[in-house]
Every structure is written in C-alpha cells, then in structure tokens.
Amino acid sequence: MKREIITLIIFSISFIIIFQYIYPNYRKLSSLSKTPLDLENKIERLESYIQNINGIFQKKENYQEEIKLMEDSLSKENLIPNFINFIQTEGSNSGILITAIKISPLEESNNKNVKEMSFQINFSASYNSLKNFISKLENSAKIIYFDKISFQRKIETNDLDVSIEGRTFYK
C-alpha cells in the first residue's frame, strides 16, 4: 500500500509539473507556430491590395484625356468672359446673329464644390444654323444644360428669332 501511495504522489507531482510548467510553454510554442502562417496570410492580402491599387492607377492613366476634358469643362478662371467668348465664337461659326446674352450671378449648386451659372441667349438664325449651334453647344467640353428653347419665325426673312435659357457649371 505504501508503494501505491508513493506512486500516486509521484504521479500527482508529475501531473502538477506538467500543467504548471510544460503546458504553458507548449501553448506558447503552438501559438508561435501559427504566427508565421498568419503573417504570410496578411502579407498575401496586402500584396493583393497593392496590386489592386496599382491596377486602379493604371486605369486612371488610361483616362487622362477624359479627366483633362472634365477639369477643363469646370474651369475656375475668367468664368463669364470665357463663356461669352465661347458662345460668340460658336455662334459665329454656326452662322447665327446673337442679339443678347444675359448671365446671372454664380450660384451654389447641389454639389458645394460646383457653382451654377444661368444664362439666356437671344439670336436670329436659319433652321440649319440653329441646329448646328445647339449641336456645337451640346457636344462641347463644357457642361451645358438647356432649360428652355423658344423660337418664332420671322415672316419676311423665314429666319427664326430664338431664345435659349440654360445652365453651365464651374468649380
């Protein structure tokens, strides 16, 4: 019986030593073995993220011309004189006779970074000249919306008296 008690005491002491000293070191060792795998996964995800960002930058480079057009269409400098000059040049090239250009002050639009400018253009033109002028305005790099177009035919010359109300946008 004494032998069994000694065996039980030795077994208990061994068990306590194992749980007191060896098991914590085993847990540390197993967590350390998982750490390189976790780091490798993080590195793979970061490399994938960097490749994705590089792809986005390369796509952006492909659209530089379009981005430049958009920035130019929202120019910041000499807003009103540049717009009037643009209208007069396109009108002259289209064969219309501008009688009046009215421009309202710049107003804040829904987007706080962009300002809105309303305008009204009165002119005389033939049907083909009117069509060419509107087409040139619509296809220009400037962002222009037409809110109202009204016209009336002159009986004596078969030309049209036209009034266009619209909006354009600036930074």
Q: Mind listing the pLDDT tens digit for each residue in 53-88?
A: 888 888 888 877 777 666 666 556 667 788 888 889
User: Which of 98, 90, 104 is closest to 168 using CA atoms?
Assistant: 104
Residue 170 near residue 120 (C-beta atoms within 8 A): no
DSSP state of 7: H
Q: Is 3 left (phi over 0), alpha (psi -120 to 50) or beta?
A: alpha
CATH architecture of 74-170: 2-Layer Sandwich (3.30)
User: Mapping DSSP to helix (H, G, I), strand (E, B) and coil, where does residue 167 land?
Assistant: strand
* HEC per residue, the chain: CHHHHHHHHHHHHHHHHHHHHHHHHHHHHHHHHHHHHHHHHHHHHHHHHHHHHHHHHHHHHHCHHHHHHHHHHCCCCCHHHHHHHHHHHHHHHHCCEEEEEEECCCEECCCCCCEEEEEEEEEEECHHHHHHHHHHHHCCCCCEEEEEEEEEECCCCCCEEEEEEEEEEEC
In the prediction, which pLDDT does 121 show?
93
Q: Could you tell me the residue ranges of all domains in the chain? A: 2-62, 74-170
In the prediction, which pLDDT does 111 show?
64
In the prediction, which pLDDT does 32 show?
64
Residue of higher predicted confidence among 15 and 168: 168
Beta strands in 1-104 (DSSP E): 97-103
For residues 18 and 71, give the distance between their C-alpha atoms in angstroms, rounded to a whole number. Answer: 72
In this prediction, residues 89-107 reach a mean pLDDT of 87
Residue of higher predicted confidence among 163 and 40: 163
